[in-house]
Amino acid sequence: MAQSLGDVRGTVGRLTTPFAGIGGVAVLLIAGLGYLAVRTSLRPLDIVAALVTGHRGTIAVDTAPAQGARFRVELPHAAVPTQFAGG
């Protein structure tokens, strides 16, 4: 069954907005899930950073594309109290 070009354009015009809305919602949902996945995977690093800074230490990271990451943790040397120094 043949349709006039005007009818086809009218149908396309009516469908464009709902499909764009559905696509926008899908993109926002995927972006939100991606954000949650990244934040969840970084949670252990937050814990390490809190522990290191709580002990007055420092943490640094060196990264390079396709080489991974190297983390350096430095903690201050604590003086041993005299009662435990064996003297």
E-strand stretches of 2-83 = 58-64, 68-74
Which pair of structure tokens corresponds to residue 68? 């991974």
Q: What is the pTM of this model?
A: 0.47
For 19-78, how does the pLDDT look when each residue is reduced to its tens digit (9 = 90+)? Answer: 999 999 999 999 999 999 988 888 888 888 899 988 889 999 999 888 888 989 999 887
Q: Identify the H or E element spanning 10.
A: helix 5-54
For 1-32, how does the pLDDT look when each residue is reduced to its tens digit (9 = 90+)? Answer: 788 999 989 999 999 989 999 999 999 999 99
- What does the alpha-carbon distance between residue 7 and residue 11 come to, in Å, rounded to a whole number? 6
For the chain, the structural domain boundaries read 5-84
- Give backbone dihedrals phi and psi of 64, rounded to 5 degrees, phi first: -150, 140
